[in-house]
Amino acid sequence: MRLIILDDASTVADWAAQFVLQRITQFAPGPGRHFVLGLPTGGTPLGMYRKLVQFHKEGRLSFKYVTTFNMDEYVGLPREHPESYHYYMWNEFFKHVDIDPNNSHVLDGNAPDLVAECHRFEDLIQKAGGVHLFIGGIGPDGHIAFNEPGSSLVSRTRVKTLAYDTLDANKRFFGNDMSKVPRQALTVGVGTVMDAKEVMILITGVHKSLALAKAVEEGVNHMWTVSAFQQHPQALFVCDEDATLELRVKTVKYFKSLMVEHNKLIEIKR
Ligand code: PGA
């Protein structure tokens, strides 16, 4: 596991976007050779999406041969609702870049058969040849995607009922009214994300600091589902200073001493 500690949320956004640019550029996608990217929603990745759009506008990055899979979607929220993840992805990212909408997959939380929809999504990932890079965010309770505390660490895409902490954290998007937050979501499983070749998890803010400490310094535990990534061979946690507040000084010093190495990950070799 790599832990990349940066000054603030905006530096995290820049570093993460640079990493995506590096990975896609190095892969050199083309017809019949798509780069497969797993994507999150939420407040944390917004800055990264803006930077990726900027790279695209500068002609440095094309998504023409990129296939994407989003982590999750609410159940029962209309697609055009401003808080649906379809709406978020279209407005914050897809409409600004050259991705083919047929290649950008978001779970359908209004499908008549939600279980079949989850199976369809897993099949699509398989057919795409698996995910090269899955990007995720976490909740203050350590959830990854909507894999709430207690979720199976080998889970696949399925319907989940959201935990109180998640409803509370997300009510800010629903006029601070918890009763308006959808109670259920479709989400990729921890196992689905674990299958990706590489995983990058973005963590910013003091409210995520306990979750980061649990993820990095304690054992693998289904009550902090992001801790499963200790067992992933290629996992990067990218965080800001605020998110490190619950870590040991020794942990922070060690990983900061590796920054020269970490920054080699975002160098583009020509
Ligand atoms: P946030 O959400 O980026 O809005 O904090 C992350 C999550 O709950 O997974």
Cβ-contact 146, 185 below 8 angstroms? yes
Angle at 79 between CA 120 and CA 165, to 5 degrees: 85
| Span 6-24, average pLDDT | 98
| Span 186-202, average pLDDT | 98
- Least confident among 6-15, 47-56, 102-111, 173-182: 173-182
Cβ-contact 175, 111 below 8 angstroms? no
Known catalytic residues are 72, 141, 143, 148
Contacts of 249 (CB under 8 A, 6+ apart): none
- Least confident among 3-12, 23-32, 38-47, 159-168: 159-168
* pLDDT for residue 162: 94
CA pair distance 75, 30, nearest whole angstrom: 34
* pLDDT for residue 269: 81
Q: What phi and psi, each to the nearest 5 degrees, are found at residue 65?
A: -115, 40
Cα 104 to chain centroid distance, Å, stands at 15
43 lines ligand 1 (CB under 6 A): yes
Encoded tokens for 103: 């290649």
Q: What is the pLDDT of residues 59-102, one digit of tens each?
A: 999 999 999 999 999 999 999 999 999 999 999 999 999 999 99
227 lines ligand 1 (CB under 6 A): no
